[in-house]
Amino acid sequence: MRNTKTAIGATLAALAVLCAMFATSASAAPAWKFESKSLEGTETILGAALDSSLTIPGLTTKCANFLYKVNIKNEAGTGKGEVTELPLYNCTTNTDACTVDKIGAEKLPWASKLTTVSTTPYIIIEGVKVAILYGGEECVLGETLVTVTGSAGGSIDNSKETATFNSSTLSASGTELKALSSKIEWNGLFPTEAFQWHREQALSVS
């Protein structure tokens, strides 16, 4: 009888530990914060890529002007948002044979959410769709409309207020971008700042 009581007590203790672990995990969901305080209501953040490129096997495309606008909020303690604008200008490729005749984001807004990978905060952008029309008589993709689709995860650096996207962050977050039935690579470094109610306040995710 004593052994039975001991076993029951051990089981209840284990359940209590598991419940505590789940409660801690739930409360630790990453949220948008300004000056270390959780965002209440909504905010708009803007930025321009310091460096960004899309690489389809054999061809890399860069845009001198890669801007973005995201509306953010916290919902049930977790940061969420929507990419509402993504203007791309002055885009070129890594070969003289190929030009970028047209490029643009489609089917905006794109949903986004915050998550944690290991101990690092991440932003996940879903429903990505960018159409690129290449030109050039000697370009392999000349007069070809290439559509990039999928999702992308970027790691957030709170100290620098930046998000970084590359093959490592996409892999770590279980996200992927594809075009022409092939996996493509996106490299980008994106600083952020508030545009509405929290201008010049430090933005962080935790």
**What is residue 159's three-state secondary structure?**
coil
Contact 59, 101 (CB under 8 A): no
Amino acid identity for residue 156 in this structure: I
**Does the pLDDT at position 26 exceed 50?**
no
Residues in the chain: 206
Confidence tier at 168 by pLDDT (50, 70, 90) = very high
Task: Encode pLDDT of 101-144 as tens digits.
Answer: 999 999 999 999 999 999 999 999 999 999 999 999 999 999 99
Neighbours of 12 (CB within 10 A): 10
Helix (H) or strand (E) holding 171: helix 167-172
Task: Encode pLDDT of 48-64 as tens digits.
Answer: 998 899 999 889 999 99
Give the per-residue pLDDT at 1.
52
Give the per-residue pLDDT at 127.
98
- What beta strand segments (E) does the chain contain? 32-34, 37-38, 42-48, 51-56, 59-75, 78-85, 88-93, 99-105, 110-117, 120-135, 145-157, 162-165, 177-179, 182-183, 185-191, 193-194, 203-205
Whole-model pTM: value is: 0.84
Spell out a b/e string for 42-70, using b for 16 or more CB atoms within 10 Å of the CB, else e. ebbbebebeebbbbbeebbbbbeebebbb
Give the per-residue pLDDT at 11.
40
Give the per-residue pLDDT at 113.
97
**Does the pLDDT at position 13 exceed 70?**
no
Between 22-31, 72-81, 97-106, 175-184, the lowest mean confidence (pLDDT) is in 22-31
Q: Which residues pair with 116 in a beta bridge?
A: 121
Give the per-residue pLDDT at 112.
97
Mean pLDDT of the chain: 88
Give the per-residue pLDDT at 29.
80
Give the per-residue pLDDT at 28.
55
CA angle centred on 87, ends 85 and 193, rounded to 5°:
60
